[in-house]
Structure 1
Amino acid sequence: MNGRWAVGLVAGSGTPSERIAAELRRRIVAGELALGARVPSTRRITREWGVAMATATKVLNRLRDEGLVRAVPGVGTVVAGKPAPAAGRSREPQRVSPRASQRMAERMPEQAPEPASRREARPEAESTGARRVRAGGERDLTRERIVATALRVADQEGLTALSMRRVATDLGVATMSLYRHVPGKDDLLRLMMDVAFGEQPLPEPPASDWREGLETVARVQWRIYRRHPWLASTMSFTRPVLAPDAALHTERSIAVLAGRGLSWEEMAQASVALAAFVCGLAVHFEREAQAEQDSGLSAEEWMDRVEGEDHERLTADPERFPMFDAMNRGPEIDLGLEALFEFGMARMLDGIGLLIEQRGGEGGGLARGSANK
Structure 2
Amino acid sequence: MVGDSTSTQVLRDLEISLRTNHIEWVREFLSEENRGLDVLVDYLTFRLMMLRQVQNNHKNVILLTNIFLFGIKDKVACMQFVNIVVHSVDDMNFRVHLQYEFTQLGIDEFLEKLRHHESEELQIQISAYLDNVFDVAALMEDSETKTAALERVAELEDELALMAEKMSEMEAESLAKMVELEGELVELRKQKEDLENMNSKVQEEVSTLRREVSQKSEESRQRQSLLEKQIQELENLANSSSAQGVKSGKESTGGAPPPPPPPLPGMAPPPPTPCAPPPPPPPLMGSGPPAPPKLPIGMGGFHVPPAPGSLAAPPDSMTIKKKVNTKYKLPTLNWVALKPNQLCNLSSN
Structure whose CA Rg is larger: 2
More helix by share: 2
TM-score, normalized by the shorter chain, greater than 0.5:
no
**Normalized against structure 1, the TM-score is what?**
0.19
